[in-house]
Amino acid sequence: MEQVFSYIISLGASVMMPIIFTIIGLCIGMKFGKALLSGLYVGVGFVGLGVVTALLTNNFGDPLSAISQIYHLQLNVFDMGWPAAASVAYNTAVGALIIPICLGVNFLMLITKTTRTVNIDLWNYWHFAFIGAVAYFVMDESLAWGYFAAIICYIVTLVFADITADKFQGYYDNLDGISIPQPFVQSFVPFTWVINWVLDKIPGFSKLDIDAAGLKKKFGVLGEPLVLGVIVGILIGIVAKLDIKKILFLGITMGAVMELIPRVTKLFIDGLMPISEKTKEIVGKKFNGKRVNIGMSPALVIGHPTTLVATLLLIPTYLIIAVVLPGNQFLPLASLAGLFYLFPMILPYTKGNVVKTYVIGLVALAVGLYFVTNMAPDFTKAAAAVYAATGDQAAKVPEGFSAGSMDFASSLFGYVIYAFTKYLSWIGAGALVVVTAALMCYNRMQIIKDEKAAAQTIRNK
């Protein structure tokens, strides 16, 4: 099973997702041509996103490493990026069955009314497999602990996808009936609730209500993500002490990333919306009109202007924070492309306010640096075991370094499950079960309440 699922996953999202979405389209009654076209749009979207993010990681990796050497930054947790985390996730016994097990859990939650999300974002199931794989190695290669950690993370994520669905759909256009059951993205929601509330209590802070459109109006061409990208790229080149040609190239490259990402994300929408509309139609009939959300990838919305601006502002400050933060051993390099995924669930609560979004992202990332540093020894152990068994270069840890990644290793959900498992064992497991059960009960009460209200509305009509 490990070999079968590892092979399937090795196809990559650009190949796997068109196949999956074509099959889903056929199963829900779409014509073959339309289902195939939807799947291909999604696949092309992943190819485009991979090309654009590769521009960032391939061209900025060396300058950022040069900055580390020039200024003698002694940070010994090596940024492996998401490919290493995904490799660890799927090349273990936990990852082998994560997709069917999670789909089974999703089905049980639907029929018990503890979720209203159907999670078809199968590619991002590696997030659940990752925390399960780390728990597996932490607890002496115990499959029971590995699956326990993965399932807890899955359930919590589905509940948060439901809780945030109304805000998400209300903020983003043309995404009715969509939720985001991706744990990395959802793990920033608790930070958002708390920090957003605190910022609202600060006198005068509301006057800093600037969204991406307001930024353009206030600063003109300098407020454009494209121009901001060029400026940030040039500044990184200057700090890295590159020659003028390379400095200008970095500027244009960063600008290109900022400009191309919104264009690429449109492909996801073009591919996913026909499937979403058809699924809502089928679900409406099967569930007697009851509301069910379709769980999609956050890649749908990472091209939002505020996301681009906040990401640009965070890249240099995130690096500075990583250097000066006491006790941190992680310097983010390969993971920088993942910064775009911080914001899909933050923006609906900040209403696109650039300042609030930036502050929330910075605080969450600063805390996440400690998560990555603390988890590094066990991430290294897991990566070394996968590399020894498979020879996968993505999981190879450079000699003298520990392994780390911002992608999910800095996630609040993942780290809490990891810490409770490692440090509290059975007591931690019990606490996780209690909290998860409470979330499920809360979600069930909300779903039943909404169904009763909808039924009353129908009777009144």
Instruction: Give pLDDT tens digits for 152-176.
Output: 999 999 999 999 999 999 999 878 8
Give the residue carrying structure tokens 């999609």. Answer: 296
Q: What is the pLDDT of residue 216?
A: 62
Q: Please give the residue that has the higher pLDDT: either 345 or 386.
A: 345
pLDDT over 90 (residue 302): no
Q: Please give the residue that has the higher pLDDT: either 382 or 207.
A: 382
For the ranges 174-178, 194-198, 410-414, the lowest mean pLDDT is seen at: 174-178
Instruction: Please tell me the pTM assigned to this model.
Output: 0.86
Contact 296, 333 (CB under 8 A): no
Structure tokens at 389: 């068994």
Mean of pLDDT values over 6-32: 78
pLDDT over 90 (residue 430): yes
Burial 59-89, CB ≥16 within 10 A → b, else e: bbeebbebbbeeeeeebebbbbbbebbbbbb
As a whole number, the mean pLDDT across the chain is: 86
Q: Please give the residue that has the higher pLDDT: either 459 or 39.
A: 39
Query: Which of 128-142, 154-168, 349-363 is predicted most confidently?
Result: 154-168
Q: What is the pLDDT of residue 184?
A: 94
Residue 363, Cβ density class (10 Å: 0-12 exposed, 13-18 middle, ≥19 buried): middle
SS3 assignment, position 308:
helix
pLDDT over 70 (residue 8): no
Mean of pLDDT values over 105-132: 91
For the ranges 154-163, 174-183, 420-429, the lowest mean pLDDT is seen at: 174-183
Q: Please give the residue that has the higher pLDDT: either 390 or 133.
A: 133
Mean of pLDDT values over 324-331: 90
Q: What is the pLDDT of residue 434?
A: 98
Contacts 24+ apart (CB under 8 A), 450-459: 450/291, 451/290, 451/291, 454/289, 454/290, 454/291, 458/289
Q: Using pLDDT thresholds of 50, 70 and 90, give the confidence band for residue 185.
A: very high
Mean of pLDDT values over 351-358: 91
Mean of pLDDT values over 187-199: 95
Give the number of residues written for the chain. Answer: 461
Q: Please give the residue that has the higher pLDDT: either 446 or 331.
A: 446
pLDDT digits (tens, 9 = 90+) for 43-89: 888 788 778 877 877 888 788 778 777 876 778 888 887 777 877 88
Q: What is the pLDDT of residue 1?
A: 62
Q: Please give the residue that has the higher pLDDT: either 436 or 141.
A: 436
pLDDT over 90 (residue 4): no
pLDDT digits (tens, 9 = 90+) for 373-413: 999 999 999 888 888 877 777 788 888 788 888 877 788 99
Contacts 24+ apart (CB under 8 A), 232-238: 232/312, 232/315, 232/316, 233/60, 235/316, 236/60, 236/63, 236/64, 236/67, 236/315, 236/316, 237/63
Q: What is the CA radius of gyration of the chain?
A: 22
pLDDT digits (tens, 9 = 90+) for 218-270: 666 666 778 888 888 898 899 888 999 999 999 999 888 888 888 887 887 78
